[in-house]
Amino acid sequence: MNISLRKHFNVLLVLTVAMSVIKGFFAVNDLVDHPQFTLFECMSQFYTTVENASRGGWFYTFFACDLIWSAVLLRFIHRLIIKWNGVRLLPGGSLSIWRMPLALLFIAAYALDTAENIGYCVAYAQRLSNPVFLSYLLQAKLVAYGLCVLILFITAYIFHIHDRMRELGRFVASAAISLIIVTLIALILTQMDQGSTIVIHLLDERPLNLAIVFILMTFLGIILSHYPMYFESHLFSNKGPSVQWVMARKRRFLGFGVIFFNYNTKPVDGSNSFIENAPQHLSEHRANTTDLSEHLRRLLGILIHLAVMYILFFVGEACFGWRGLALGVTALAAILGLKFYLYWQRPENLETHEGYDHPRPVKLAKAYPWIMIGHIIIVALTMVLSFWLGWSRMTLLSAVLACFSGMIAFLTFRITRSTLKFVYFNVHGTASNAMWGNADPDHFNDYTGPWKGLFKLSNNLYYLFYLQNVGWATLTLVLFIVFVRPFAVWLNPLPMLLAFIVVGYSVVTLYIKHILLYKQPNQEGLSYDERFKVYNWLLPLAGIILVIWSVFATSVGNDLHIIQPTPEDPEHVMSLADYQSIAIEEQRNCVIASYGGGLKADLWNLLLFDDLQRNSNDTFLNRALCMSGVSGGGMGIANFQVLATSGKERKAAIDTVGNYNFLSIDISMAFGLDLLQELIPWRAAYPYDRSYVAMQKYAELCGLPEGKSEVSFRNLWYTEMRDHGLPPLLINTVSTNGIHGIAASVGRSGETIVPGSIDILESFDTQRPNSSLPYYGATSTCNRFPIFSPAARLKGLGHFMDGGYYDNSGLLAAYSFYNRILNKSGTDKNLMNLDSLAAKTLLTSKTDGSSFAYEPIIPVFLSISNSQSWYIHQQLEAWKIRWENEANASEIAAILQTVASIDKIPNYFAAYLDRHHTFREIAMPHYMTYDGACAVLGNTPNDPFILMNLICEHNTKIIEALQNDPDYDYDKWGIVVPPLARLLSKPAVEYQKAMISHHRETRALLDSLIMK
């Protein structure tokens, strides 16, 4: 006897979960993570790996379970096709004619699956080195399964989806904004490097931030499913009951207020007649509708919970090695949520009453307060764990559970909102008779319990008032974010992002609702004042004017992003000739270049130079010829020179910089003050953009006195850094027309460091001839990543952005400076001609009375990198990993990858310097994965197991370094690799410190540099 399809699906779901669990227990590493291993030429290594890891039992268990799972799956698909009578699509159209061929197809699929399972078990038992037959079985099985699924999809489309394509189209059109919002949130937090650190930062000892996130998630879920109703009612009003837009009489202000719609009737003559008790028709329409778009719209709100749940597990996969859990658990949660929703749509689970207008989910409505209390308790538990443990597995799992409970609470609310008035009936709330529709409130007793306030949620008008209250609270939060900077820094970027989305979506929707209200013809019974008819043309006109003004203001521009010049004393600017003499006399032979990489690069540089200076008694940089930096690397070298001269305790200051929330500053100002001031032409009201604010914070954290913040870049180095023996800085930027920009601590007007470059410190302001850029103003030009930071505008020179788009290594400027000081070509008459010396030597000098004795020394080029892809590339080169087959990539993908690459110049200079000079690279060690290595490699290696073994050995060193560091809690934090971001969590900061102090290869390299 067949069980019901519902129970059949439940059995299939349980078996699928069991298969996933068995697969998880079997996984050995990134390469051997599934019993159905498909690299058949490497089966011998596969057997050895499985045996050494004692996974043989799980190997056999998986295939034994697969025999049952495949049978249940195929039978389920077969039953669906038979139920939907899909065989009528085939020639003949008779179910009896095609029942046997269809059954044979499914039997063949199961037979091939069984043969594959037995084949794997036999191959493992017999240790078959190259079981080619498995590849043929696999291909045949996939073809058979593909045909079965194809027939299912065709059947579903013809008999279920085709007739509802119009409904699906209505849903997509009305819910487009909601779908885009959820997609953007998921992409931002999973595909951008900053996403993982935002999640870790949120869960790491920030309980109030968590509370704000869950409140905003709930509200966003409600409006994601609520606002599309207005768009659908307007866009498709001709497909169903027409609507009449109405403004509530309460809470009106200057023509604005709470707007809702009622349904009209359409007489035969086509005219619209407003019905006074239209809410009753609304109730009837919703109660009797079978519109698929209605159900899909109600389910929209769970997408935000599922998206955040996926994001949490995505981060957990990276930090704790939870392979494949993100997609699997999120899919399971979505299925459970859908089953929960469908369960309460079935008539047998609803209750009837003589006072009801139709059967209602009364039991669920009674449970709603307790479901909400349960959700609140789980959120509170997550907050406690965040405060007590910080970032940890327990905190992460609790947050996931809170997302799931929030999804169930949301679904409960959406299902029961119209039923709450019956369960929590309040005689004092019956003033609005329209909310009852065809129901009769006289049949209900007055509820006097603690939840009587839930009664009002069934009243659409009160419901909108509640949403308005939360909306005003969210707007207040946004205003605090925009205008109270300490609050913005305290706040995690995720609640900030959610708040901006809520306010933005609400403003757009409310604007459209008011336009729809005021453009409709005045009809009898319409409840808004006649004097507000002016809004019929004023609101659309305001939108048009705003667009035109925005275009005008942005085309004219203002001084918001201009870096204002500061006076410069020419006497305190060192020429290249003077510096050449110093470099020779002081034997400066170390040429330093630093890669870009956001705050990660900044912190990596600070930690490295602090370590090198401490272990060399502050003498290491006295041997440096120059320090060239790009983006975050440029910020790092500039910040360290300030730290080295400010007298501030370096370790504490570096920790503060590494843990500071610069990302929230960028977001709050990018969508706040900066955005508003872009609309002001010519002169901004507050001429300090987000880059200026960030630079001021850097100056404060690094200890630069306020009186010196406006000292020019070259003057500050001459008066402060030079006296401490620090080398000149080379800050790299690039103009928007592709010209390399340089800010150098030495060199007067006309003394070019890099051929073809622009000296951004040279004054092009004729009204202020003896002026230049302040220290952090010049430094900021290298750290202008698009969107997050605006392009720097320099008077007379144009706009400049992140120097990483020209040369992300800083090696070009460093090598050019080395050649310029060496003056090998003898073209600069102001410098000594050293062309007769060997190409690899930089002269040093010793004073002996009035004469000089020159000694050639070998320069050392030191590159400081923090890029994960660059590090993996260098490791693969060192391991001599090769591949045979050409990488499979489309022409468009290959072109885009080439255009987007910023490693072209760094690759050349690294290879050139390594060949012709002494070249050392201090790369931040990164935890590696097999898939990540293959992505950098561009293909599968010749011997995957050799690569996997090398990766495991490499990762062991990373883990040892983390375990040996007393400040890094490996057992609790897992492996938190710092991302390319402007926000780092505490574990990410401690990771970098652990790599410097305890990573064997990095430590050996640093010690060797100190000893030279």
The pLDDT-based confidence of 846 (bands split at 50, 70, 90) is very low
Average pLDDT over residues 826-846: 48
pLDDT of residue 715: 95
The pLDDT-based confidence of 418 (bands split at 50, 70, 90) is confident
- Cα torsion through 166, 171, 177, 182, rounded to 10: -130
pLDDT of residue 272: 37
DSSP 982: S
Residue 21 has pLDDT above 50, yes or no: yes
The pLDDT-based confidence of 854 (bands split at 50, 70, 90) is low
Strand 771-772 and strand 758-759: the pairing is unpaired
Contact 98, 133 (CB under 8 A): no
The predicted-structure confidence for 331-374, as pLDDT tens digits, reads as follows 999 999 999 999 998 888 888 766 666 688 889 989 999 999 99
The pLDDT-based confidence of 524 (bands split at 50, 70, 90) is very low
pLDDT of residue 287: 43
Please report the sign of the dihedral spanned by the C-alpha atoms of residue 684, residue 685, residue 690, residue 692: positive
Contact 797, 760 (CB under 8 A): yes
Between CA 528 and CA 516 the distance in angstroms is: 13
pLDDT of residue 833: 52
Residue 73 has pLDDT above 80, yes or no: yes
Query: How far, CA to CA in Å, does 931 sit from each of 189, 304, 630?
Result: 20, 29, 29
pLDDT of residue 823: 58
Contact 474, 503 (CB under 8 A): yes
Between CA 102 and CA 194 the distance in angstroms is: 50
Q: Which residue, among 996, 868, 1004, 197, has the nearest Cα to 607 in the 3D structure?
A: 996
If 0-12 CB within 10 Å is exposed, 13-18 middle and 19+ buried, where does residue 267 land? exposed
Q: In the structure encoding, which two tokens stand for residue 576, read together? A: 């290249």
Strand 740-744 and strand 729-735: the pairing is antiparallel
pLDDT of residue 983: 92
- Cα torsion through 818, 820, 824, 828, rounded to 10: -170
Query: What are the backbone dihedrals phi and psi of residue 978, each rounded to the nearest 5 degrees, phi first?
Result: -60, 130
Query: Per DSSP, what are the bridge partners of residue 731?
Result: 629, 743
Beta strands in 602-711, from DSSP E residues, in sequence order = 624-630
Residue 919 has pLDDT above 50, yes or no: yes
Between CA 601 and CA 505 the distance in angstroms is: 36
The pLDDT-based confidence of 951 (bands split at 50, 70, 90) is very high
Q: In the structure encoding, which two tokens stand for residue 532, read together? A: 């507000």
The pLDDT-based confidence of 49 (bands split at 50, 70, 90) is very high
Between CA 773 and CA 761 the distance in angstroms is: 6
Q: What angle do CA 940, 942, 944 make, to 5 degrees?
A: 65
pLDDT of residue 847: 44
Residues 6+ positions from 96 with CB-CB distance below 8 Å:
none
Query: What are the backbone dihedrals phi and psi of residue 287, each rounded to the nearest 5 degrees, phi first?
Result: -70, -35
Contact 553, 679 (CB under 8 A): yes
Between CA 925 and CA 552 the distance in angstroms is: 49
Residue 425 has pLDDT above 70, yes or no: yes
The predicted-structure confidence for 143-161, as pLDDT tens digits, reads as follows 999 999 998 988 888 877 8
The residue with greater pLDDT, 812 or 900, is 812
Site of tokens 């275009």: 551
Amino acid at site 133: F
Query: How far, CA to CA in Å, does 773 sit from each of 644, 710, 781?
Result: 21, 8, 10
DSSP 457: G
Between CA 106 and CA 74 the distance in angstroms is: 6
pLDDT of residue 240: 56
Average pLDDT over residues 818-842: 56
Residue 134 has pLDDT above 80, yes or no: yes
Site of tokens 């043989």: 56
Between CA 774 and CA 794 the distance in angstroms is: 12
Residue 464 has pLDDT above 60, yes or no: yes
The residue with greater pLDDT, 436 or 976, is 976
Contact 228, 178 (CB under 8 A): yes
Average pLDDT over residues 914-918: 85
Average pLDDT over residues 942-963: 93
Q: Which of 507-516, 582-591, 690-699 tops mean pLDDT?
A: 690-699
Beta strands in 529-568, from DSSP E residues, in sequence order = 566-567
Q: Which residue, among 262, 271, 260, has the nearest Cα to 241 in the 3D structure?
A: 262
The residue with greater pLDDT, 901 or 578, is 578
Residue 280 has pLDDT above 80, yes or no: no
Site of tokens 């997050």: 788
Average pLDDT over residues 375-390: 96
Query: How far, CA to CA in Å, does 820 sit from each of 796, 817, 826, 834?
Result: 26, 5, 10, 11
Above pLDDT 90, what percent of the chain? 47
Q: What angle do CA 305, 307, 309 make, to 5 degrees?
A: 70
Amino acid at site 736: T
Rounded to the nearest angstrom, the gap between the alpha carbon of residue 612 and the centroid of all alpha carbons in its chain is 34
The predicted-structure confidence for 297-329, as pLDDT tens digits, reads as follows 889 899 999 999 999 999 999 999 888 888 889
Q: Domain map of the chain by residue range?
A: 5-167, 192-282+293-426+490-521
Rounded to the nearest angstrom, the gap between the alpha carbon of residue 932 and the centroid of all alpha carbons in its chain is 18
Between CA 731 and CA 605 the distance in angstroms is: 14
Query: Per DSSP, what are the bridge partners of residue 774?
Result: 712
Site of tokens 């900053």: 194
Between CA 758 and CA 747 the distance in angstroms is: 13
Residue 382 has pLDDT above 90, yes or no: yes
The residue with greater pLDDT, 481 or 101, is 481
The predicted-structure confidence for 491-515, as pLDDT tens digits, reads as follows 999 999 999 999 999 999 988 888 8
Residue 105 has pLDDT above 60, yes or no: yes
- Cα torsion through 224, 225, 228, 232, rounded to 10: 170
Average pLDDT over residues 764-790: 83
Amino acid at site 469: N
R_g of the chain computed on alpha carbons: 34
Compute the 3-state secondary structure of the chain and give helix, strand, coil in percent, each to the nearest 5.
Answer: 65, 10, 30
Residue 557 has pLDDT above 80, yes or no: no
Q: In the structure encoding, which two tokens stand for residue 434, read together? A: 């329209």
pLDDT of residue 841: 45
Average pLDDT over residues 444-459: 76
